[in-house]
Amino acid sequence: MDNLEQRYRDNNLTRAELVQLKDEVNAMNDEDLGASLRRHWMDGQIPDGSVSGETVERMKDNIEDRIAATRGHAAFVFFRYFKIAAAVLLPLLLFSTLYLYKENSKLGSDVITFNTGKGEKATVTLPDGTTAMLNYDSRLVYTPKLYSKSERRISFGGEAYFTVSKNKDCPFIISADRLEVKVLGTKFNLSARNTMKSAELTLEEGHVEFTSLLTHEHVQLLPGQTAVLDYATGKIRVNADTDIADVRAWQTSQLVFTDVPLASVLARLQNVYGVRFVVKDKDRMGNFTGTLPTDNLHEALVIISESFHLKHTQSGQYVTMTAR
């Protein structure tokens, strides 16, 4: 490169040599390029009488232009790689930040969830000793870090029988779809499924406050009473003298019906067993009174068929019922 620089200063470079020198200069880093220019500028010999002052000034201008162009190129290259690095690292940084935020939030909240599936039941014991026996397709969620501070709040969906430990200074609150239940200590059965048209709470012991979140109507229940919330209107109806044994029959894998339309009975069985009913003869759909198992679909179908003089056939998840 020294020879090319000397030939450049002597203005004797061919076009090919000029391109070669340019490539070599562009390949140098700023430190090496500066050192080479300083060395040649300070130590280089300028022939006496062969170079005019105008030529020297032109050479200095050319060198300074080269330095500026080279540094500009280096800055452009650095900026280009910086943009590439930023494009790669920024999403990773954002992902890492979001991940750490979620993990920290999770660790800070410690939310605990209990779920049951089709045909499953489970009993949950909460930190204060309150128990909830969950029926099939039910979900109970609570935050231990917040539970039993000023209130004992859980989120719930499905059906469960609650035995709530007494604590007059710390109410037990259930948040469910379009309703809220508040108690101090009691026993009750709550069915709050968003797949149904209504929610029901039947009180066995103590007192509860049942609130519709749609209309803000609330009622105080006494033992033996059932509050029925219409999801569509938000209105609450209270039924007296409910047989709690019938309501709790699901705990022994039974469903008890008293003069209930067959369509409603089949809807309950659909939820329990995960099947779909097709009734060909609608005229046979009267009311049903009796007990059906929740752990034996064949037995339930036989009882229904004998009660309404129907015959049933099952194909996969579909059960077709026709007149005999």
| Residue 244 half-sphere exposure toward CB, CA atoms < 13 A | 15
Q: Which residue has the tokens 């300074």?
A: 64
Task: Say whether 253-323 and 112-246 share the same fold.
Answer: no
Q: What is the pLDDT along the chain (324 residues), one digit of tens a residue?
A: 666 677 776 777 777 777 666 666 666 556 566 666 666 666 665 555 555 667 667 777 777 776 665 555 555 544 555 455 555 455 544 444 444 445 444 444 589 999 999 889 999 999 999 999 999 999 999 999 889 889 999 999 999 999 999 998 999 999 999 999 999 889 999 999 988 899 999 999 999 999 999 999 999 999 999 999 999 999 999 999 889 999 999 999 999 999 999 999 999 899 889 899 998 877 767 899 999 999 999 999 999 999 998 999 999 999 999 988
- Return left, alpha or beta for 102; rule: phi > 0 is left, psi -120 to 50 is alpha, else beta: alpha
pLDDT digits (tens, 9 = 90+) for 217-247: 999 999 999 999 999 999 999 999 889 999 9
- The pTM of the full predicted model, rounded to 2 decimals, is 0.61
Beta strands in 90-215 (DSSP E): 112-115, 122-125, 131-134, 139-142, 152-163, 172-176, 179-183, 187-192, 198-205, 208-212
Task: Kindly state the DSSP code that residue 282 receives in the 8-state scheme.
Answer: G
- Coil, strand, or helix at residue 283? helix
What residue spans define the domains of the chain?
Answer: 2-106, 112-246, 253-323
Q: What CATH number labels 253-323?
A: 3.55.50.30
User: Tens digits of per-residue pLDDT, 75-106?
Assistant: 554 455 545 555 545 554 444 444 444 544 44
Tell me the fold of 112-246.
Answer: Jelly Rolls (2.60.120)
